[in-house]
Amino acid sequence: MHVCPECENPLTFAEDEVDEGEIVLCEECGVQYEVVNTDPIELSKVEESGYDESAIAFTDEEEE
Ligand SMILES: [Zn+2]
């Protein structure tokens, strides 16, 4: 059983049915984790805002 590193809520996904690259969602705090390894299970937090922030800053400079 894996728990969410953010809120320590048990993550309810089938550990033997997930593949690398799949996204699991913590239903308690809404954080998404990407499965980066399946044996053993390793999860990497998906940062939703980090990617967009740099893209927006670059776009603003181009437009002005
Ligand atoms: Zn959580």
User: Distance from the CA of 59 to the center of ligand 1, in angstroms?
Assistant: 32
Q: What is the pLDDT of residue 47?
A: 84
Q: What is the CA radius of gyration of the chain?
A: 15
pTM of the model: 0.69
Q: Structurally, how many domains does the chain consist of?
A: 1
User: Distance from the CA of 54 to the center of ligand 1, in angstroms?
Assistant: 26
Domain with residue 15: its CATH number is 2.20.28.160
How far is residue 55 from each of residues 26, 51, 58, measured CA to CA in Å? 26, 7, 5
Q: What is the pLDDT of residue 42?
A: 93
Which residue shows structure tokens 């940062």?
47
Block mean pLDDT (10 aa), the chain, length 64: 91 91 94 94 83 55 58
User: Distance from the CA of 6 to the center of ligand 1, in angstroms?
Assistant: 5
Domain ranges, residue 19: 1-64
